[in-house]
Amino acid sequence: MTSHDMQKDIMTTCKIEIVKDIIEDINNDYFVLLVDESRDVSGKEKMAICLRYVDKKGFVMEAFIGLVRIKDTSVLSQKEAIVDVLPHHSLTLSNVRGQCYNGACNMQGELSGLKTLIRQESRSAHSVHCFAHQLQLTLVTVSKKHVQVGELVLLISNILNVLGASFKRVDNFRESQKMYLRMAVDMGELETGIGLNQELGLVKDGDTHWGSHYKSFGNFISSFDSIVDVLDTLVVNATTLEERASASGFLISCQTFEIIFLLHLMTDVLGITNDFNVSLQKKEQDIPNVMILV
């Protein structure tokens, strides 16, 4: 275990055996395709491929079968990756009976989305947009139609972009967080223990990620003092007049009563649907209880 090469070999062997058992469990039967793509820390595009199927005992199972590198985020690259991976595991598109993707247009597009290309290969591969995802997207879209809420979302997004624009700013943000955390612990305002007081990152919201707005607003509130500190520093030390003016404008805007009020209001509203969505996705959930939750 002291050899990195040996560790990789062991992990690869485990993966091969696990995927082999999954494929045997599917037994050339029907399955649902679950796909999502994102960039890794090196900026390379990768796509995770999972399957949902009914095993021999009648239980619905979900299994991860691979993470593949794709050329870009285009639909053709995504389909090409899927077409290459499935035959490698003795699976075919003709056995696909469902598709589950996020709400991005390259996934859900009616004319040239991934779901449309897959359905051209298998007419029974029906796509069902995650209902929890739809609920969150609807709530965010309706909220943004209110001008003040739209301004809030734009302001938070711009501030996070400014703070994350350089490693130095991110380091300043983290150091400020540590300072306020130590002060809170010394004053007895926070409990200490395993898993408590985890470092909060600069979470950016994204319309295709159903919980991102809630997490982004919540982290912004929790890290508000550190965000103000970094903006203060930029007003004084930014290299260009444009950067100083931008930081000064953000600093003034984020400390107004209206912005603070809307930030807490939207966190409370999105928190309700967030708890609801988390409950809906529990494996032990049943239909009668879901109706009560709705």
Number of domains forming the structure of the chain: 2
Residues 89 and 113 in one domain: yes
Q: What is the pLDDT of residues 222-270, one digit of tens each?
A: 889 899 999 999 998 888 888 889 989 999 999 999 999 999 999 998 8
The residue from 100, 129, 158 where one domain ends is 129
Domain that holds residue 191: 134-293
| Domain containing residue 15: CATH number | 3.30.420.40
Where are the extended beta strands (E) located within 219-275? none
Residues 287 and 148 in one domain: yes
Residues 108 and 176 in one domain: no
Label the pairing between strands 45-54 and 31-39: antiparallel
Estimate the share of the chain in helix, then strand, then coil, as percent rounded to the nearest 5. Answer: 60, 10, 30
The residue from 129, 156, 174 where one domain ends is 129
Residues 57 and 159 in one domain: no
Residues 170 and 99 in one domain: no
Position 147, amino acid:
V
Residues 31 and 75 in one domain: yes
Tally of CB atoms within 10 A around 1:
6
Instruction: Kindly report the pTM of this predicted structure.
Output: 0.63
Residues 76 and 192 in one domain: no
Residues 113 and 195 in one domain: no
Structure tokens at 77: 């690259």
Interhelix angle 224-237/147-163, rounded to 10 degrees, is 70
The residue from 71, 100, 129 where one domain ends is 129
Q: What pLDDT score was predicted for residue 197?
A: 56
Label the pairing between strands 45-54 and 60-69: antiparallel
- Partners of 66 in beta bridges: 49
Q: What pLDDT score was predicted for residue 200?
A: 65
Residues 58 and 114 in one domain: yes
Spans of the chain below 50 pLDDT: none
Please report, to the nearest 10 degrees, the dihedral formed by the alpha carbons of residues 99, 103, 107, 109 taken in order. Answer: 110
Where are the extended beta strands (E) located within 85-220? 96-100, 126-127
Please report, to the nearest 10 degrees, the dihedral formed by the alpha carbons of residues 146, 149, 150, 154 taken in order. Answer: 170
**Which of 3-13 are b and which e, b meaning 16 or more Cβ less than 10 Å from the residue's Cβ?**
eeeeeeeeeee
Residues 84 and 159 in one domain: no
Residues 119 and 138 in one domain: no
